[in-house]
Amino acid sequence: MKKMLSIMIPAYNERGNLEELTMRFIKTLLNTNLDYNFVYVIQGEDGCLENMRELKRKHNLKNMRIIYSKKPMGVGPAHIIGFKNVPEGSDYIVTMDGDLNHMPEGLPVFLKKLEETNADILVGSRKVQGSSIEDYTIIKIIMSRFVNTLLPILMGIKIRDITSGYRLAKIEVVRKIIPKIKSKNHEYYPEFLLLGKKYNYSMVEVPIDFKVRVRGKSKLLWIKSCLGYIKILFLALKIRFMKY
């Protein structure tokens, strides 16, 4: 019996990007022995919703589920509602950014690593051998190094790219962690791993290629993100040493 993979992607104003991402996923998954489905949490009013509905109709993608919100939900709530809408019978869930920074063609590397390690959570990493980064400004480099150096120490885990959104996890892991998630913005990503560590789930990193955005604008607000990561510093201590 084939395993079922759910592709769950929140997207805020990603017209053009999400359509391309879908077709590239379909092409990539032709070479795997997996059944699959799409769950998209589409937010914003840039026409992405209408384009994705047309794509679904044109290609008869009955395995696509779309949740829509006119206003942005925040990274955490968007992931939570997306995970809750993953179809029954799914074995694994893959997540990634909807802006084409992440390459769906890298999915077979995740699947191979899963077969080798049977890890509970696989993190697409920009900080391990074999990875590459195309789009990084000096401020992104400074922020990334700070967050991904300090937080893993406080969290007590060996994952070096805790802010990466490209991940593959077992369905039972996601169902265990999601009810505990409190983060609303980009601090959701390290919080997920914090909880994974707390529940003793195994985690490994997979090298990925990180590409420059070609459409739309980044949604990462640095002040809000800094405040969010400060919250995570305290949350890391609370999760590790207190009841959570």
What are the tens digits of pLDDT across the range 23-69?
A: 999 999 998 999 999 999 999 999 999 999 999 999 999 999 999 99
Overall number of domains in the chain: 1
CATH number where 229 lies: 3.90.550.10
DSSP state of 102: B
Residue 18 belongs to domain spanning: 3-241
Per-residue pLDDT reduced to its tens digit, 86-133: 999 999 999 999 999 999 999 999 999 999 999 999 999 999 999 988
pLDDT-derived band at 134, boundaries 50, 70, 90: confident
d(CA 43, CA 45): 7
Q: Which residues contact 99 (CB under 8 A, 6 or more apart)?
A: 11, 14, 17, 213, 215, 216, 218
The answer to whether 146 and 195 have CB atoms below 8 angstroms apart is: no
- Say what the pLDDT of residue 58 is: 97
d(CA 49, CA 41): 10
pLDDT-derived band at 135, boundaries 50, 70, 90: low
Put simply, whether the predicted model's pTM sits higher than 0.85 gets the answer yes
- Say what the pLDDT of residue 24 is: 97
The residues facing 184 across adjacent strands are none
Coil, strand, or helix at residue 210? Answer: strand
Listed residue (135, 104, 111) closest to 20, CA to CA: 104
The residues facing 67 across adjacent strands are 41
Q: What residue ranges in the chain does DSSP mark as E strands?
A: 3-12, 34-43, 64-69, 92-95, 121-125, 132-133, 167-170, 203-207, 209-210
